[in-house]
Amino acid sequence: MKISKICQILEANIVCCKELADAEVYSACGSDMMSDVLAFVKDHGILLTGLVNPQTVRTAMMMDMKGIIFVRGKKPDSSVVSLAEENGIVILTTEYRMYTACGLLYTAGLYTDGSDKV
């Protein structure tokens, strides 16, 4: 699924790296625990989280993730945005809570393991 499609589904705003909105992501992960992200995420995914700090971007970098979606209207500060821009990680913000955002993406066909099977 393209990041631009995710943006539409979640009524999200792109904070940085708009030029990468046509990138494809193959899975999604919703977590505020970066240790869980490190243990379970596959590459070319997108992370949904309410944890707004540079460690979130560093985790996404380590896992070769394409983007981060900050839920519940959370807004990253300039240090988070700068780090994401330097590393080509798209940042989105949405007003949806994590549970709802994950459900909307799942319903639209984006799964945790990159498959197209329910």
User: pLDDT digits over 39-69, tens only?
Assistant: 777 677 899 999 999 999 999 999 989 999 9
Structural domain contains residue 17: yes
Structural domain contains residue 94: yes
Structural domain contains residue 56: yes
| pLDDT score, position 118 | 41
Contact between 20 and 3 (Cβ < 8 Å): yes
Smallest CA-to-CA distance from 28 within 16, 10, 52, 53 is with 10
For 1-118, where are the E strands, in sequence order? 13-16, 27-30, 45-49, 67-70, 90-93
pTM of the predicted model as reported, rounded to 2 decimal places: 0.90
Smallest CA-to-CA distance from 93 within 7, 29, 23, 3 is with 7
- Domain residue limits at 100: 3-107
The answer, yes or no, to whether residue 114 has pLDDT greater than 60, is no
Structural domain contains residue 85: yes
Contact between 12 and 93 (Cβ < 8 Å): yes
Q: How many domains does the chain have?
A: 1
Binned at pLDDT 50, 70 and 90, residue 70 comes out as: very high
